[in-house]
């Protein structure tokens, strides 16, 4: 069993009697500790008692902030997932039909310096264990993202900028490159041979070069040169 990340150890430190954390601060500590424990040990390997101990509170107080595990899972997603914010930042580039900027923002949101692998580990555990968090995440977050990106690809194909492709499969293909990159370097620990910015630029160039529509070239008339 892997060691609990430092964030949980930090949350375990009890505040002095003269400085009591606010309700919001305590909720943040619970979310951080729970996410770290789930990411390290899985859902089945983590109990609410362990979460409470990591924060330095009783289980009763834990349940006062999060009466059900579902409420805690939802809070973790809200804290760790920022897809709505990502889509908002992409809107301006999409409106300008700046394809390179759209795909760079999306890739750079996940491939960046100092990225936290906690959510990725947590989601992998939830999927392998058949936990409801996996379905919750896909339904409320990831599906929205895929639908948006697929819609943009379909619109650009309609405008003649992209080749006619299956928009949803294309959106998944691009996201698959980004996810595979993160799995290699954040989960399996494979050393990266290029920095995040260079990697993002390379992925975006490779993908858009294959996606953009090829403009037909005018052939020379017969007898005036090679066809």
* pLDDT per position as a tens digit, 71-109: 888 788 778 776 777 888 899 899 999 999 999 999 998
Please give the Cα distance from 214 to 104 (Å, whole number).
21
Tell me the domain boundaries of the chain. 6-78, 81-211
Q: Does domain 6-78 have CATH number 3.30.360.10?
A: no
Q: Which of 202, 173, 199, 25 is nearest to 115 (CA)?
A: 199
Overall pTM surpassing 0.85 (yes/no): no
pLDDT tens per residue, range 163-206? 999 999 999 999 999 999 999 998 899 999 999 999 999 999 99
pLDDT tens per residue, range 135-148? 777 776 667 778 88
- 4: alpha, beta or left? (left if phi > 0; alpha if psi -120 to 50): beta
Q: Does domain 81-211 have CATH number 1.10.357?
A: yes
Q: What is the mean pLDDT of the chain?
A: 83
CB 64 within 8 A of CB 147: no
Domains 6-78 and 81-211 share a fold: no
Residue 107 corresponds to which tokens in the numbers above? 């890739």
Local structure of residue 27 (DSSP, 8 states): H
Q: Which of 134, 124, 129, 137 is nearest to 45 (CA)?
A: 129
């Amino acid at each position: 069993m892997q060691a609990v990340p430092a964030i949980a150890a930090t949350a375990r430190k009890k505040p002095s009697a003269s400085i009591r954390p606010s309700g919001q601060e305590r909720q943040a500590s619970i979310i951080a500790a729970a996410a770290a424990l789930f990411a390290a040990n899985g859902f089945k390997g983590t109990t609410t008692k362990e979460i409470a101990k990591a924060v330095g509170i009783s289980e009763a107080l834990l349940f006062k902030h999060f009466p059900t595990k579902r409420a805690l899972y939802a809070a973790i997603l809200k804290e760790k997932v920022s897809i709505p914010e990502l889509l908002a930042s992409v809107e301006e580039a999409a409106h300008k039909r700046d394809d390179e900027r759209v795909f760079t923002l999306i890739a750079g949101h996940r491939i960046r310096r100092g990225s936290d692998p906690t959510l990725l580990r947590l989601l992998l555990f939830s999927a392998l264990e058949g936990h409801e968090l996996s379905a919750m995440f896909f339904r409320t977050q990831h599906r929205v993202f895929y639908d948006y990106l697929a819609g943009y690809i379909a619109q650009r194909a309609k405008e003649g900028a992209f080749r006619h492709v299956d928009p949803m499969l294309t959106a998944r293909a691009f996201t698959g490159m980004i996810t595979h990159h993160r799995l290699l370097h954040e989960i399996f620990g494979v050393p990266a041979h290029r920095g995040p910015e260079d990697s993002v630029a390379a992925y975006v160039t490779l993908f858009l070069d294959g996606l953009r529509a090829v403009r037909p070239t005018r052939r020379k008339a017969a007898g005036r040169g090679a066809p």
